[in-house]
A and B are shown apart, each in its own frame.
Chain A
Amino acid sequence: MGAAGVVLIIAVVLIVAAVVAYLLSVIVALRRITAGLDDAIAGVVEIIDKSAPVNEIVTDINRTLDAGVDLLEGLLVSKAGLSDAMGLIEGLYPGAAAQGLRNFPDSAEIRAPRISEVYTRGTLTLARLGREAPVAAASPNGPALRNAAYGSSAARTLYPEGRPGHAPSLPRSPVIGTDSPVRYDPAEKVGGPRRRAATGTTTEES
């Protein structure tokens, strides 16, 4: 074998060695890819399993909330009228009246009366009770509506001279029972005018 043959063998060996080295690296990479895909598939399967009932539950929740919205919107409009209802909504949630009521498409075009300026703040506070009770708790839109510690001071202003006392003399409480001085005939119809029993005595007599 000549020198050329030796060089040929060396070249072939080099090529084969390069092919083997790179193919081994590729095999290792492919194994890592397989492992990674297994992890990814497991995660995706978990996601699918966990999210399977979400659609049904959320749809059910939305259906229930829709029924609640229909109920409350209908009740508010039937009791307050569409115009005042929008004014009340605007007073409680400024800017909400522009969106209108879902079941009353015309409500968005109504010019809401300024109920928050016509009625006192206390009226709106009462209206807010359902959302922000207890009233003294921090409102999501600002400070508490009522001072819990000194809330009674406002009521005291109704009696600037002090709390009025009771009358000098009050009628005595009636005596009840079988020995009561005034007795009525139990056979008489309940709710009708009642007459005293014949054996009874009047209060003045006693």
Chain B
Amino acid sequence: MILEWIGDAVLIVVVLPIVVYLLRGVLGAATGIVASVERIAAAARAGSADLDAAPLLLTTRERVVQTIEAAADYGGSLDVILDDQREP
């Protein structure tokens, strides 16, 4: 009879607090991960939105090519018009 009471006491005083402690730790970690994951998801969405202008690089590439072609034409004309520098 005494052993039963001792077992009950151990169960209530030792086992139950340990179980609660461990489960609270797991729950706290899971809750912390939720916040981190939500921040990661928000950052990923923002990063994806920032890249919406990436297709404009195609236009930029075309404009750069046109600009360099114009500069090349201009330079070619200058090369014909102007004599090269004569070394002293």
Residues of chain A touching chain B, judged by Cβ–Cβ distance below 8 Å, are 2, 4-5, 7-8, 11-12, 14-15, 18-19, 22-23, 25-26, 29-30, 32-33, 36-37, 39-44, 46-47, 50-51, 53-54, 57-58, 60-61, 64-65, 67-68, 71-72, 75, 77-81, 84, 130
Which of A2, A29, A51 has the most chain B CB atoms closer than 10 A to its own CB?
A: A29
Residue from B4, B11, B57 within 8 A of A57 (CB atoms)? B57
Q: Which residues of B contact A42 (CB under 8 A)?
A: 44
Please state if A54 and B54 are interface contacts (CB–CB under 8 Å): yes
Please state if B23 and A19 are interface contacts (CB–CB under 8 Å): yes
Please state if B61 and A57 are interface contacts (CB–CB under 8 Å): yes
Bin chain B's interface residue count.
Answer: 35 or more
Residues of chain B touching chain A, judged by Cβ–Cβ distance below 8 Å, are 1, 4-5, 7-8, 11-12, 15-16, 19-20, 23-24, 26-27, 30-31, 33-34, 37-38, 40-41, 43-45, 47-48, 51-52, 54, 57-58, 60-61, 64-65, 67-68, 71-72, 74-75, 78-79, 82-85, 87
Please state if B27 and A22 are interface contacts (CB–CB under 8 Å): yes
- Complex Cα gap A57–B31 (Å): 42
Q: Which residues of A contact B74 (CB under 8 A)?
A: 130
In the complex, what's the smallest C-beta–C-beta distance from B3 to chain A, in angstroms?
A: 9
Residue from B8, B19, B40, B47 within 8 A of A8 (CB atoms)? B8
Name the residue on A nearest B15 (C-beta). A15
In the complex, what's the smallest C-beta–C-beta distance from A76 to chain B, in angstroms?
A: 9
Residue from B20, B26, B64, B82 within 8 A of A18 (CB atoms)? B20
- Complex Cα gap A205–B34 (Å): 109
